[in-house]
Amino acid sequence: MADAAGRLPDNIVYFGRALRRAGVPVGTAQILEALRAVQLVGFTKRQDFHTTLRAMIVTRPEHLLIFDQVFAMFWRDPDFLENMITNLLPVITAPSVEKPMKPAQNRAAEAMAAGGGKPRDLPPQELLELDAQFSHSDVEKLMQKDFEAMNATEIRQAEQAMADKTSEFEYSRAAGQLAEAAAQLRTLRQIREKLGK
């Protein structure tokens, strides 16, 4: 329990970064005060925690939906990082172009996948599960050296494309690419670490 309390500040800071990536402007002062509010009040209910953070951070009704989405993904219990890798990837890659009606959800998903939140360390058993999802040849392919470089280039391209928001279509495609690449990259690193390379 003490460990969980110790991680709370980190988690809130990462949460703030995830929100910022999703397009909700969050100042450092707000994050600090949100942390203070949460610690001072001391919660037992998830809903109260949600209300407190929202009241301290959101200032516009149009940001409420994005906040709720990011919150749902970020504080999803208990293994949110694993969930993110396995669940979010399909959500944001394939249908991101055809789903313009849910921009808040997309942006939230992108923000999470783009590395907004990564405060937790994966325990070994989660790595094993991750590993089990790849066939041997997959792992071999992933181990090839230029794959990561290629991914980094992809990320750069995607980021450039995102900076140029002239058309809605380009933007959502680039955002999808970026999210996909970032998530792949992270999975790769974990597999490498696990194999001791």
Partner 1 sequence: MQNLPQSIDATTALLACEGYVADRALSTLTFLSLTLNRPIFLEGEAGVGKTELAKVIAKGLGRDLIRLQCYEGLDASSSVYEWNFAGQMLAMRNGAEQGDIYSEKYLIKRALLQAVEPHPSGPPVLLIDEIDRTDAPFEAFLLEALSDFQVTVPELGVIKAPEPPIVILTSNRTREVHDALKRRCLYHWVDYPGFEREMEILRARLPEVNADLSREVVAFIQKLREEELFKRPGLAETLDWAKCLVALDVVALSPDVITDTIGAVLKYQDDIAKITGGPATRILEQIRQDMQAL
Cβ proximity to partner 1, 59 vs 153, nearer residue? 59
Cβ of residue 59: shortest distance to partner 1, in angstroms? 4
Phi/psi of residue 79, nearest 5 degrees: -110, 70
Contacts of 181 (CB under 8 A, 6+ apart): 151, 154, 155, 158
Cβ proximity to partner 1, 45 vs 145, nearer residue? 45
Neighbouring C-alpha atoms within 13 Å toward the C-beta of 22: 34
Cβ of residue 69: shortest distance to partner 1, in angstroms? 16
Cβ proximity to partner 1, 67 vs 80, nearer residue? 67
* DSSP class of 61: G
Radius of gyration of the chain, Cα coordinates, nearest whole angstrom: 18
Cβ proximity to partner 1, 11 vs 30, nearer residue? 30
Residues of this chain that bind partner 1 (CB under 8 A): 25, 27, 29-30, 36-37, 40-41, 47-48, 51-52, 54-56, 58-61, 64
Cβ of residue 152: shortest distance to partner 1, in angstroms? 35
What is d(CA 21, CA 25) in angstroms, rounded to the nearest whole number? 9
Cβ of residue 37: shortest distance to partner 1, in angstroms? 6
